[in-house]
Amino acid sequence: MNADLFPGFASRWIDTPDGRFFARIGGPEEAPPLLLLHGFPQTHACWHRIAPALAKTHRVVCLDLKGYGWSQAPVGDGLAYSKRVMAREVVAIMERLGHVHFALAGHDRGARVGYRLALDEPGRIARLVLLDILPTLVQWQRIEARPSAFSHWRFLASQDAEATIGRDPITYYEGLLRDWSGSKSLDPFDPRALHLYRQSWNEPSRIRASCEDYRAGATHDRTADEEDLSAGRTISCPVLILTGDSYLDQTEETALAAWTRTFAPGAVGTQVASGHFLAEENPAATLDASTGFLRS
């Protein structure tokens, strides 16, 4: 299981009524809990460059989300992969581990699970770090204004995505890592982490699961955002918006501005020199910003 990516961390299977999940867990048992949620198309391994340092001050849980890595990938429609359902699963997992109130840092799809959890169950999250995303509703508004932007959102939500990706999944997913990284290469990624990603990419049930994840983003997740925005619901805990400087289009509106006018009016923001994969491309700056916020 490439344990050397997470020195001192235990491997843990967590059984819940919704299925079986995998996590790496490290840090003092008495320390404040911190949940790290990865994004697409990665697994818990994306945190390997910052998790050991975070575990000096926190009980760190690096979880494989449903449909990714070694966690369950059940057959289901978009609803099963909605961020509201996935957030409820995260709560059940953390409760099984003895944590009812915890900090959360999420990247990409994991960040979407994180902010949905913070909106739906405001008492759960102590502090929230969102890495390199816009609210789902805002993202779709931008895509509709510029159909060529973030074309993978439309493609992955389409009904023929699984078959297309399945013809050569490694080439497809590695292409995304290259395109979204600052260097436009695989150089930022540890070969051991890439090995874990490829294991997941080659599995048909996980290809399907990631597509269901994006289908939920186009339907259930967008609707949930629209309803919360209309009702004036906002995130009550402290929020850090952490962005790279080359992935999101921030020419018309910064990511922080998008969040403060929608769901996180009190958020603070930091930008680091990075493509989309902040924790792997610039772990030092990502760690510095995150630890400063988590300790404040």
Q: Output DSSP code: residue 129.
A: E
Per-residue pLDDT at 149: 79
Domain ranges of the chain: 7-295
Adjacency order of strands within the sheet including 10-16: 10-16, 19-26, 59-63, 33-37, 102-107, 125-131, 239-244, 268-272
The confidence score (pLDDT) of residue 2 equals 43
Q: Which amino acid is at 16?
A: T
Quick one: pLDDT at residue 252?
A: 86
Structure-block tokens of residue 253: 């509106």
Euclidean distance between CA atoms 270 and 259, whole angstroms: 13
The predicted pLDDT at position 1 comes to 41
Instruction: Indicate which residues carry an active-site annotation.
Output: 108, 276
Distance CA 217, CA 293 (A): 28
pLDDT value of position 227? 98
Among 264, 150, 201, 161, residue whose Cα is nearest residue 42: 201
Query: Could you read off the pLDDT tens digit of each residue along the chain, which spans 296 residues?
Result: 445 899 999 999 999 988 999 999 999 999 999 999 999 999 999 999 999 999 999 999 999 999 999 999 998 777 999 999 999 999 999 999 999 999 999 999 999 999 999 999 999 999 999 999 999 999 999 999 987 778 999 999 999 999 999 999 999 999 999 999 999 999 999 999 999 999 999 999 999 999 999 999 999 999 999 999 999 999 999 999 999 999 998 888 999 999 999 999 999 999 999 999 999 999 999 999 999 999 97
Which pLDDT value is given to residue 150?
Answer: 84
Q: Which residue has the tokens 């020419």?
A: 251
Q: Which class is 7-295 in CATH?
A: alpha beta
> What confidence score (pLDDT) does residue 136 get?
98
Are the C-beta atoms of residues 294 and 103 closer than 8 Å to each other? yes
Q: Are 82 and 224 in contact (CB under 8 A)?
A: yes
Rounded Cα distance, 118 and 132, in Å: 17
Q: Which class for 111: exposed (0-12), middle (13-18), buried (19 or more C-beta within 10 A)?
A: buried
Question: Coil, strand, or helix at residue 244?
Answer: strand
Is the peptide bond between 283 and the residue preceding it cis, with omega within 30 degrees of 0? Answer: no
Distance in angstroms (rounded) separating the CA atoms of residues 152 and 223: 20
Question: Can you give the pLDDT at residue 216?
Answer: 96
Angle, to 10 degrees, between the axis of helix 136-145 and the axis of helix 204-218?
A: 80
Burial 58-80 (b: 16+ CB within 10 A, else e): bbbbbbbbbbbbbbbbeebebeb
